[in-house]
Amino acid sequence: MTGLWWEYVLVFGASAVVCLMLTPVAIAVAIRIGVLDRPGGHKGHESPTPYLGGVAIVVAFSASVVVAAVAQPPASGRDELVIVLVLAVALAIVGLADDLWNLSPTVRLVAEVLCALQLWRMDAGVTVTGEPGLDAALTILWVVGITNAFNLLDNMDGLSAGQAAICATTIFSVAVANGQFLVAGLAVGLAGCAVGFLRHNFHPAQIYMGDGGALFLGFLISYLAVKLRFDSDVSESFLVPVIACAVPILDTTLVTISRLSTGRSPFEGGQDHVSHRLVKSGLSVPVAVGSTYFASASIGVLCFVISRVDSTSAWILAGLVAVTLVLGGLLLGMVPVYPESRRRHFMIGERLPETD
User: Quick check: is 172 in a domain?
Assistant: yes
CA-based nearest residue to 162, from 183, 193, 189: 193
User: Quick check: is 178 in a domain?
Assistant: yes
User: Quick check: is 355 in a domain?
Assistant: no
CB of 244 within 8 A of CB of 303? yes
For the chain, strand residue ranges (E) read 36-37, 49-50
Q: What is the mean pLDDT of residues 144-154?
A: 97
Q: What is the mean pLDDT of residues 118-122?
A: 95
**Mean pLDDT taken over the chain:** 89
User: Quick check: is 34 in a domain?
Assistant: yes
pLDDT digits (tens, 9 = 90+) for 167-209: 999 999 999 999 898 899 999 999 999 999 999 999 999 999 9
CB of 168 within 8 A of CB of 188? yes
What pLDDT score was predicted for residue 46? 64
62 pLDDT above the threshold of 50 = yes
The per-residue DSSP string of 170-188 comes to HHHHHHHHTT-HHHHHHHH
User: Quick check: is 299 in a domain?
Assistant: yes
Helix (H, G, I), strand (E, B) or coil at 350: coil
The one-letter amino acid code at 162 reads G
**Total-model pTM:** 0.92
349 pLDDT above the threshold of 60 = no
d(CA 151, CA 216): 9
pLDDT digits (tens, 9 = 90+) for 254-296: 999 999 999 888 888 889 999 999 999 999 999 999 999 999 9
Q: Domain span at residue 185? A: 5-349
Helical pair 234-244 and 311-333, crossing angle rounded to 10 deg: 30
345 pLDDT above the threshold of 50 = no
What pLDDT score was predicted for residue 325? 97
Q: How many domains does the chain have?
A: 1
Confidence class for position 39, pLDDT limits 50, 70, 90: confident
* Of the listed ranges 152-166, 286-300, 311-325, 341-355, the one predicted with least confidence: 341-355
63 pLDDT above the threshold of 90 = no
User: Quick check: is 177 in a domain?
Assistant: yes
238 pLDDT above the threshold of 80 = yes
What pLDDT score was predicted for residue 26? 97
49, β-bridge pairs: 37
User: Quick check: is 354 in a domain?
Assistant: no
User: Quick check: is 356 in a domain?
Assistant: no
